[in-house]
Amino acid sequence: PAVEFGLEAPFTVEYHDSIGSTNDRARELAGEGAADVAVVADEQTGSRGRLEREWSAPSGGVWVSVVSRPEIAPARAPLYTLAASVATARAAREAGVDARIKWPNDVVVPVGSEGDYRKLAGILTEMEGETDRVDWLVVGIGVNANLDADALPEGATSVRDEAGDVDRRLFVQRLLEEFDGSRNDLESVLPAWRDLALTLGQRVRVDRPSGELVGEAVDVTASGALVVETDDGRETVSAGDCEHLRPV
């Protein structure tokens, strides 16, 4: 079913008109030893968010999953999520959208001045590996591109609603170029992320399995965890521990 995407990308692109989940297909390819493959679909019928949540992915969006085999420790894998957020926000900004990043895995558009936002895109990073070394990483990126926000879950926005339709091939191309640049220069990710982050400086509530945390989000650590200044001092939250983060 795969056809050539016809783009000059740093990745081989496998395109599907319709697929269950591009992340599932990318995981399958990773398991077969693939590297630097991007699975792109027009529509996903069973796409996933974090923590078993559903992701709505009708025809017209940008749904892409990238297989990487970096020589990094698993603890640094969250940096790939941040790199993908930066790449997505940059591609969206080039398309005229005021895209910002919300820790840990969202690209959002601010609404008003109270720290409120609508969700434009989400990232789902999955991996396999040993304790000291990643075998493969699949970074799934979902962007509400040429879609009506009305037809998406509440709180969503789209490139169409914010700035008008885009050429999705070019959008994917820019996204992949930016992501490739960031993953090859992980040191550049944190400064770029900080520049685009909506979350930093915000008073937030983080829901974790161990309980909620309220305080000011002050920074991200070298491995992509969020530092929150609470009344009792500083606490660090890893993405894996974050069920929800909301400005309060």
Q: Note the residues at the interface with ligand BT5 (CB under 6 A).
A: 21-23, 44, 47-51, 53, 55-57, 63, 65, 105-106, 119, 122-124, 140-142, 144, 152-153, 156
Shorter beta-carbon distance to ligand BT5: residue 49 or 181: 49
Whole-angstrom distance between the N-terminal and C-terminal Cα of the chain? 47
Nearest residue to ligand BT5 on Cβ basis: 122
Shorter beta-carbon distance to ligand BT5: residue 157 or 182: 157
Nearest alpha carbon to residue 9 among 227, 178, 157, 236: 178
Shorter beta-carbon distance to ligand BT5: residue 90 or 119: 119
**Shortest approach of ligand BT5 to residue 156 CB, angstroms?**
3
Query: φ and ψ at 114, to 5 degrees?
Result: -95, 10
Nearest alpha carbon to residue 16 among 32, 31, 4, 8: 4
Shorter beta-carbon distance to ligand BT5: residue 200 or 239: 239
**Shortest approach of ligand BT5 to residue 49 CB, angstroms?**
3
DSSP character for 156? B
The residues, any chain, with a CB within 8 Å of residue 204's CB and separated by 6 or more, are 214, 215, 216, 217, 228, 245, 246, 247, 248
**Shortest approach of ligand BT5 to residue 132 CB, angstroms?**
27
**Shortest approach of ligand BT5 to residue 145 CB, angstroms?**
10
Report how far residue 54's alpha carbon sits from residue 131's, in angstroms, rounded to the nearest whole number.
29
**CA-CA distances (angstroms) from residue 76 to 64, 72, 82?**
21, 7, 10
**Shortest approach of ligand BT5 to residue 59 CB, angstroms?**
12
Shorter beta-carbon distance to ligand BT5: residue 123 or 213: 123
**Shortest approach of ligand BT5 to residue 231 CB, angstroms?**
27
Instruction: Give buried/exposed letters for 88-127 (b at 16+ CB in 10 A, else e).
Output: bbbbbebbebebbbbbbbbbbbeeeeebebbbbbbbbbbb
Shorter beta-carbon distance to ligand BT5: residue 132 or 150: 150
